[in-house]
Amino acid sequence: MLGGCMQTTVEPASEASMTPRDKKLLAAAPYEKATIPEPYQRHIVGYHRKEVPGTIVVDSDARYLYYVLDGGKAIRYGVTVGEEALAWSGVAKVGRKAEWPTWTPTADIKKRMDVPNFVGSGPQNPMGARALYLYEGNKDTLYRIHGTNQPEYIGQAISSGCIRMTNEDIIDLYNRVKPNSVVVVLAPGQGDSPFSPTAKPRMASVSLFD
């Protein structure tokens, strides 16, 4: 099992990890604060895989993202992942990091959804508070790990392929991750996180944003 036994629940990111801009924008977020199911809240867990500390591993099957620590531990975050036909898997690196990014939908997203050509930074932006841009070599994969303006969907598979986290969790992860860190996104059916009746991935059929 990827996650092993749960060891400690990590409290949500404190205001000490946020900039004054974060506090101002999140205080005015145009969505209700979601209650994240306990299995998808941030935890420190046992970790048996061989990735080195500092690696990000995404288990799309279980809707978990792991940030590998020393000593056989990892921080496990709940995430929203891409629908099966839109999901990406493979090994990449963090080619760029951005605080309160803007969003320019790809041509493919614009074909599938009625979205604006550009959305400025802020809590209304589907990219949320932070974004990690995934690259293969020098090529942008167009997939991101980012915040969200729809935290109620954490634990579901509805996005256009990107990995979404709550804004509090992406701020926490962003502060830990170094540029060029390795990101491993396991292919569908390859995840080996522990499952329990309270941690079954929830399903949904539509998504407004990437």
* Catalytic residue list: 146, 162
HEC letters along 89-100: CEEEEEEEEEEC
CA-based nearest residue to 178, from 98, 97, 99: 97
> CA 200, 182, 133, 129 torsion: positive or negative?
positive
Q: Strand 90-99 to strand 81-82: parallel, antiparallel, or no bridges (unpaired)?
A: unpaired
CB 100 within 8 A of CB 129: yes
CB 139 within 8 A of CB 133: no
| Eight-state DSSP code of residue 8 | E
Residue length of the chain: 210
| Eight-state DSSP code of residue 5 | S
CB 58 within 8 A of CB 81: yes
Lookup result for tokens 């004054």? 20
| Alpha-carbon gap, residue 206 to 210, rounded angstroms | 11
